Structure 1
Amino acid sequence: MDAIGLWAIAAHSPHSAAVVDPGGRTVTYGELAAGADRIGRGLQSLGLSTGDRIALLLPNGADLLAVHFAALQTGLHVVPLNWHLTAAEIAYILHDCDARAFVAHERFAPAASAAAREAGTPGRFAVGEVPGFAALDTLGTGGSGRPVSRTLGALMAYTSGTSGRPKGVHRPLTGTDPDDVPSASTWFFGLFGLEPFDGHVHLCCSPLYHTAVLNFATISIQLGHAVVMMDRWDPHDMLRLIERHRVTHSHMVPTQFRRLLALPEPVRTGYDLSSMRVMIHGAAPCPRHVKQRMLDWWGPVVVEYYAASEGGGTLITAEEWLRRPGSVGRAWPGSRVRVLDSDGNDAPAGGLGQVYLQMGEASFEYLGDAEKTRNARRGRMFTVGDIGYLDDDGYLFLCDRASDVIISGGVNVYPAEIEGELAGHPGVADVAVFGVPHDDWGEQVKAVVQLEPGVRGGPELTAQLLEFLTGRVARFKLPRIIEYADELPRDPNGKLYKRLLRDPSWAGRERRI
């Protein structure tokens, strides 16, 4: 088998396709490696050294990957920034991580300029024109070869910030050679049956500022899989790209499943998708009827996992899911999953509790927040606040995020359960359920519903939705308030910002979380 890793492949097969940019331009392994070397030399000439941080505000494309690999081989922590953030939010992260360099795209010029000024970030470079930023393509020119000092860097993603200030997930550097592909990368892809080379083509259809999306793209490149990039995801365009490039694997979220399923049948059936070997999904709960329809359409290639930026996770194949619908699987090799009750004891099979994960001996901390790090841990295990249970065979079922649980009249109500049922109504395109204040019960259940095109909201539909839910969930779980919205606040990766819907109802009042 040929050697793996960006630089090994570039030396052996420099003309092989590494990236197909959103515009259709093909970037070879030789070109990508050369760009990473140039930028790496430039960063070192600025004085950046092992352990420093570089922030990226870039859309999907070869430029982001070149900077990422440059940082990876020079011992830097890479901080990808969500380009939907405001200038103030970006400035907070730049300051919090003490970024020594900041690379932005001209598409985000106003926010990038304002954030860099507020945070006082040095080393500013841009793709295109950004006031106060030098051109990225000038960084590291005038030299040649690899950066002088090379050691493996790491990703430092920031938590999503759906509540409170986001914090960077910081891991110690390993000191290993960046030419050596970590065994964890080949092992992780092996979980999905993805081997090096083997004619694989990865389709990247979500923003690279998400940890999983960036990991799937960069590991694909390290293993010799060409990566086809989408900038702004479109369901019809995705099907076209799968057929055109003979895509073998991708990573998606349930929101994208919904939009694919909403395409007219002649469109859905008009493309050859037979090249697809594994469609991996995670990042958000998938309603059972949505998952079932995808399996009916795509077949057993649909594989689900549950994990966190902090490490560890579970996996379930299509065949397993059909036997245990709704499960997110069992702990993958080397990981542990426990469900602990409020006293810190293991809950019995079927008993609800907080989900804790552990990935081997991996360690992390939330940068600058010892209290958050301490509260998330129990020994070597950590939690991101999800509530769930394990069945007798160790399969994990998720119920909700602890901060989203509604306590009404002293009874726990799990919004995800109600959302999953409401999503099965033919008139519902998307739904969010949360608790709002009630003088007697403490909280009451409220639903905000996004309707399918052509469906009108109002009292008649509200009655229909409640009737639809009756018998599917207990009476005390029925929403007392149903409102309608043109669109729910989700990011491109499907993350629902429920606080934007919930917080106005709690203004001036303290909510238990």
Structure 2
Amino acid sequence: MYPLTINHWLTQHAQFRPNHLAFVFGDTRLTFAELNRSVNRMANALRAAGIGKGNKVATVLPNSRELYEAFWAVAKLGAVLVPMSPMVRGQGLINLLNDADSGLVLTDADHAPFLDEVRSELVIPVANYWLTDGEQPNWQSYSALWQAASEVEPPTPELDGDDLYNIMYSSGTTGLPKGIMHSHFVRSMYGTLFANAYRIRPESVIMHSGSIVFNGAMLTFMPAMFIGCTYVLLKEFSVQPVLQTLASEGVTHTILVPTQIASCLRYPDFTIDKLPTIEYILSVGAPLLNEQKAELIRRFPNTFYELYGLTEGFMTVLDKTVSAEKTGSVGRPIWFSEMKIVDDTGCECPTSEVGEIIGRAPFLTSGYYKKPDQTADAIRNGWLYTGDLGYVDDDGYLFLVGRKKDLIISGGVNVYPKDIEEIIIRHPAVAEVAVFGVPHPDWGETPIAAVRLIEGISVNELKDWTNQHLEARYQKISAVMLLDEFPKNVAGKVLKTALQERYSESLKR
């Protein structure tokens, strides 16, 4: 049986479609033939450093040409990529790099000092610290290594679909980060199934402005290479460059997290009339509030998709053909996937009843790296227990309620933060909101709202307005906390644990 692996994808495009534009980053524009030669240089440089099948290559990089090419260079070698958030520091770097058994690390001049600070506690060989730009003591110049390496195809390793391709570390929103393993087969499924779900074709132009160390990026990253279309990568998200690139590159497909969508919606040029090539906008990473969803659908009819999913590998997709009709939903499982809503005993809940979302799919992780107990707890009899709460309607569409961990129990009643967030975001002074629970001496827990404002309003006015518009007494918020900026991880998710800590600190002052 032919192995379902991704190591040959780029090579095939370079052979059969060599002159098609493959990759754009800043002033860099590479055809598939040019990209393949550059990736071969990286793969051969890594091979000369002793990296081969199963060896771990870590990156501590922002979006860059080198980070993008690392994904395909390690694939050709049968090595394992460990892309890490460039926001990680200190003990976090020590924990992740050593947990992953990293044999080599690739970084840039901005982040090298943070690695130097912890180098004595890392297991990486001295010669395998590579710097993509500039010069610093005790660092190998990646540019020099790349220049010296051959651009011919490296030897093809013996691979099958079960071989490990990458370890993605979780965002850490629910505890210590875990290394989530994805095989070549899993990434093959990303490439094929999501290309189908999102109507990606060889003529498509995909733009990505978020970090590609975030697993959500793989939803178009892998289909782009599988199909062989153009992939435009931005260094980071900023509204004006995003709008300019959408227009200048004729972008057809892009992913935006809810906070980015909210930022774009403040610009009148963010419409289908101004950006007529857009066929697909995917919201991913966190629930998009209904008010923002409705506005996006109004501006971009028949282009909006939403995905609910976990890096561990179960996902639902709300297709553009029903997004206006099923505005509150995050869709249904895609091909070859199954979903159930279960109660605390594991029994399936009836339609419209809230329970834990569990699912199984061909892109399910094989587990957490070196954590068999946590793997066994998350994946039971082939089903991933997500820790998220939701319900399905009569048509089988999933509606999210929130994370089990975020559930607020006030006076013995379940309070779902998303229900309160949906109300607060309707106030014209509010740009961003997150609701979380804190301990209460009488009720056990009580809801608190953190908000970022775009107009002046007092916290008491906003609190009173919110409580007047909530349906139930037990939902009423006890306080409003004003923020200039929300704490977020590299994926753009709001860190509610950080909000709880910040609120507790404010009470001590």
CA distance in 2, matches of 1:450, 1:341: 35
State the secondary structure of the residue aligned to 1:425.
coil
In the other structure, the counterpart of 1:101 is 104
CA distance in 2, matches of 1:361, 1:422: 36
Q: Which range moves more in the overlay, 7-16 or 286-295?
A: 7-16
Pair 1:165 & 2:176 matched? yes
Q: Is the 8 A contact 2:280 2:304 kept in 1?
A: yes
Q: Is the 8 A contact 2:167 2:179 kept in 1?
A: yes
Pair 1:46 & 2:49 matched? yes
The letter for the 2-side match of 1:491 is N
Pair 1:414 & 2:388 matched? no
In the other structure, the counterpart of 1:317 is 319
Superposed displacement of residue 34, structure 1? 1.4
Q: Which range moves more in the overlay, 376-385 or 165-174?
A: 165-174
In the other structure, the counterpart of 1:33 is 36
Q: Is the 8 A contact 1:406 1:434 kept in 2?
A: yes
Determine what percentage of the aligned residue pairs are the same residue: 28
CA distance in 2, matches of 1:20, 1:172: 27
Instruction: Name structure 1 gaps, 5 residues minimum.
Output: 508-513
In the other structure, the counterpart of 2:236 is 232
Pair 1:476 & 2:474 matched? yes
The letter for the 2-side match of 1:19 is F
CA distance in 1, matches of 2:219, 2:193: 13
What is the TM-score normalised by the length of structure 2? 0.91
CA distance in 1, matches of 2:453, 2:334: 37
CA distance in 1, matches of 2:206, 2:255: 9
State the secondary structure of the residue aligned to 2:428.
coil
After superposition, give the CA deviation of every residue in 1:63-115 in whole Å (9 maximum; x if it has no partner): 11211111011111211111111132122110000101110022222223224
State the secondary structure of the residue aligned to 2:130.
strand
State the secondary structure of the residue aligned to 1:80.
strand
Question: In 2 relative to 1, CA 90–214 (structure 1 residues): closer, same or farther, beyond 3 Å?
Answer: farther
CA distance in 1, matches of 2:479, 2:412: 19
After superposition, give the CA deviation of every residue in 1:227-282 in whole Å (9 maximum; x if it has no partner): 1121121222212111111111111111111111112x3x4469731111111222
After superposition, give the CA deviation of every residue in 1:23-49 in whole Å (9 maximum; x if it has no partner): 232122222211221221222222222
In the other structure, the counterpart of 2:22 is 18
After superposition, give the CA deviation of every residue in 1:431-471 in whole Å (9 maximum; x if it has no partner): 1111111112111111111111x42433233323333x33x
Pair 1:127 & 2:132 matched? yes
C-alpha RMSD of matched pairs (Å): 2.2
Aligned residue runs from structure 1 range 354-433, under 5 A = 354-360=356-362, 362-433=364-435
State the secondary structure of the residue aligned to 1:327.
coil
Which portions of structure 1, spanning 4 or more consecutive aligned residues, are displaced by more than 6 angstroms?
A: none
Aligned residue runs from structure 1 range 174-253, under 5 A = 182=188, 184-195=190-201, 197=202, 199-253=203-257
State the secondary structure of the residue aligned to 1:42.
helix
Question: In 2 relative to 1, CA 492–54 (structure 1 residues): closer, same or farther, beyond 3 Å?
Answer: closer
Superposed displacement of residue 394, structure 1? 1.2
CA distance in 2, matches of 1:421, 1:259: 19
Q: Which range moves more in the overlay, 211-220 or 320-329?
A: 211-220
CA distance in 2, matches of 1:173, 1:419: 39
Q: Is the 8 A contact 1:437 1:505 kept in 2?
A: no
Pair 1:346 & 2:352 matched? no
The letter for the 2-side match of 1:98 is D
State the secondary structure of the residue aligned to 1:26.
strand
CA distance in 2, matches of 1:379, 1:189: 28
Pair 1:465 & 2:466 matched? yes
Instruction: Name structure 2 gaps, 5 residues minimum.
Output: 1-7
Q: Which range moves more in the overlay, 161-170 or 103-112?
A: 103-112
Corresponding residue pairs, total: 490
What is the TM-score normalised by the length of structure 1? 0.90
